[in-house]
Every structure is written in C-alpha cells, then in structure tokens.
Amino acid sequence: MLYTQQEVEAHLEKLEGWEFEQGRWIVRKYTFSSFMKGIAFVDEVAAISEAFGHHPYITIDYKTVTLRLTSWDEGGITAVDIKEAQQFNEAYEKSRSNDSRDSAT
C-alpha cells in the first residue's frame, strides 16, 4: 500500500538520517572512514536487499554511500521501503567500529 506524504514523513521521524526527496524517494547518505568500510557496508546492503527482494539505488562516491528507495510498482513509498531502510540503519550501526570518522547524514 502506497503511503501518503504525511505517512512517509511520520515514519521518517523514527528513521535517523533518512529524508523524503522529490515526493518519490527516501534517501540517506552514510560516510565511512575508508573506501573499504563503505564497500563492506554495500555488501551488507546487498544481502538485506536480496532478502527483501527489493533493491535500492546505490551510489558510491569514495567514502560516501548513498541509498535511495522507492517502490516503482506502487508509485512511491510503501511499508517495504520503510522496513528496509530500518534494516539498513541497523546494519550500519552494527558495522560501525569505534572510529569516530564514520558518520551518517
């Protein structure tokens, strides 16, 4: 079921770092202290995505990984996008070391 803009915004209040973009996407950028840490995170994102059968757009720019989610067949954001974004956040938190240079925006 497609969420309204108000529903998306309410869910995003509970999802650290995610933003509603262009009325169609939810987006988050993660910054890592090294390229390899970013790539390891992308591997984790890939495993989560396969389990959901729902894949984000992934952009890697050196140490910054940007994830974009939408449900094309529904025409916007659904519960699947929100649940998957939450799992990406959980994977990020698990993958973080004590390296204070890793951050998410």
Q: Which of 28, 18, 41, 27 is CA-nearest to residue 99?
A: 41
Radius of gyration for the alpha carbons in the chain, expressed in angstroms and rounded: 13
CATH 3.30.1360.20 fits 3-98, yes or no: yes
Q: How many CB atoms lie within 10 A of CB 101?
A: 11
Q: What string of pLDDT tens digits covers the 105 residues of the chain? A: 999 999 999 999 999 999 999 989 999 999 999 999 999 999 999 999 999 999 999 999 999 999 999 999 899 999 999 999 999 999 999 888 545 555 666
Where in the chain are the domains?
3-98
pTM for the predicted model, two decimal places: 0.90
